[in-house]
């Protein structure tokens, strides 16, 4: 599928912040304007609650936690998806009185390069169909029915015999049992016989698949320089959300977004593999720019000299629209 530039990224991805009020049946309008999400990732910003990941395929009341390897849980944290957002309970992980939250929301759409796939494992190497119509650049897979680490495939790792784990800080691992040493195609992805991450016999799984879309999303890699005048990462859009991970050494999965950091320099992060509150540190500083982002800090978690990193990024606005007009000129 040949994707064109998405002129309005908020149709498919948004970051939303809110303050909890402790009430049941709390309706949250995504990004203030409304979007019916298919994948929602919530984290408390000022408490050490677990992350909550829910989607429309498994159902709003079924959640997973990116900071742990536990099985899927049934809860009323998120009660329902609505045409403009979500309905929340008064659970402390999503809506405690006076607690601060952020939610990242994705719309499942081939146009936006995002697909949600569920399947049952058989512990035999095989392919599984998807509906992206493009080659996935990143895949995040989790067993639902039992404990098991989150498996991450990323184009920036260079080969399908490497993988990362979203719930941990370990460097990349090498082996053929997770992705069967086979890169995904525009119609299928491959799993090996790994019974802990991608294909245990009789175990149920969910897979989140992402592709590059011009002006909207990008998945790639960069090398740090350990300098406050850090590397610039070109995206072709102004980012709204970026997640990075060092691959050659232990490092957290760093979550950045322009809702929690509305202006440069941006130095407040969350970590996908941890329950930490918003963490502010000058050596983690970055600038979100009209066509990418630039590092201003020297932390090894983002910019170690010679360190190798992968990233996923989603747009606030494209650098150039589908008509060839700079977005800032609209």
DSSP, residue by residue, 81-106: E-SSEEEE-S-HHHH-TT-EEEEEEE
pLDDT of residue 251: 96
- Residues 157, 312: Cα–Cα separation, whole Å: 13
pLDDT at 330: 41
CA 311, CA 313: separation in Å to the nearest integer?
7
From residue 233, alpha-carbon distances to 82, 124, 136, 150, 279 in Å are: 35, 39, 20, 26, 23
Contact 20, 96 (CB under 8 A): yes
Give backbone dihedrals phi and psi of 255, rounded to 5 degrees, phi first. Answer: -110, 120
Low-confidence residues of the chain, pLDDT below 70?
1-4, 318-330
Residue 112: predicted pLDDT: 96
Contacts of 22 (CB under 8 A, 6+ apart): 90, 95, 96, 97, 98
Predicted pLDDT of residue 7: 85
Q: Give the pLDDT of residue 33.
A: 80
* 329 burial via Cβ count (<10 Å: 0-12, 13-18, 19+): exposed
The predicted pLDDT at position 322 comes to 57
pLDDT for 2: 42
User: Cα-flanking dihedrals φ and ψ of residue 95, to 5°?
Assistant: -160, 40
User: Of 219, 218, 211, nearest to 319 (Cα)?
Assistant: 218
């Amino acid at each position: 599928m040949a994707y064109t530039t998405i002129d309005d990224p908020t149709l498919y991805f948004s970051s939303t912040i809110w303050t909890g009020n402790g009430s049941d049946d709390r309706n949250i309008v995504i990004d203030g304007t409304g979007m019916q999400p298919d994948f929602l990732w919530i984290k408390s910003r000022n408490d050490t609650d677990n992350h909550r990941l829910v989607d429309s395929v498994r159902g709003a009341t079924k959640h997973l936690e990116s900071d742990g390897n536990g099985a899927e849980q049934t809860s009323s944290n998120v009660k329902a998806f609505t045409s403009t957002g979500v309905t929340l309970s008064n659970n402390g992980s999503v809506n405690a009185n006076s607690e601060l939250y952020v939610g990242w929301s994705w719309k499942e759409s081939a146009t936006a390069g995002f697909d949600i796939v569920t399947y049952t494992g058989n512990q035999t190497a095989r392919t599984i169909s998807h509906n992206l119509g493009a080659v996935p650049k990143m895949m995040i897979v989790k067993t639902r029915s039992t404990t098991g680490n989150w498996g991450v495939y990323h184009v920036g790792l260079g080969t399908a015999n490497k993988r990362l784990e979203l719930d941990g800080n370990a460097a990349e691992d090498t082996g053929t049992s997770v992705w069967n040493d086979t890169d995904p195609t525009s119609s299928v992805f491959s799993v090996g016989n790994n019974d802990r991450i991608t294909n245990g016999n009789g175990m149920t799984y969910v897979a989140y698949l992402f592709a590059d879309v011009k002006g909207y999303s990008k998945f790639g890699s960069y090398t740090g320089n350990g300098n406050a005048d850090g590397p610039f990462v070109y995206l072709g859009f102004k980012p709204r959300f970026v997640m990075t991970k060092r691959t050659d050494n232990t490092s957290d999965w760093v979550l950045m977004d322009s809702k929690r950091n509305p202006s440069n320099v941006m130095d407040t992060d969350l970590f996908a593999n941890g329950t930490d509150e918003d963490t502010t540190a000058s050596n983690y500083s970055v600038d979100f720019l009209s066509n990418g982002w630039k590092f201003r800090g020297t932390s090894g978690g983002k910019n170690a000299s010679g360190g190798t990193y992968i990233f996923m990024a989603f747009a606030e606005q494209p650098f150039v629209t589908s008509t060839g007009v700079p977005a800032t000129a609209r």
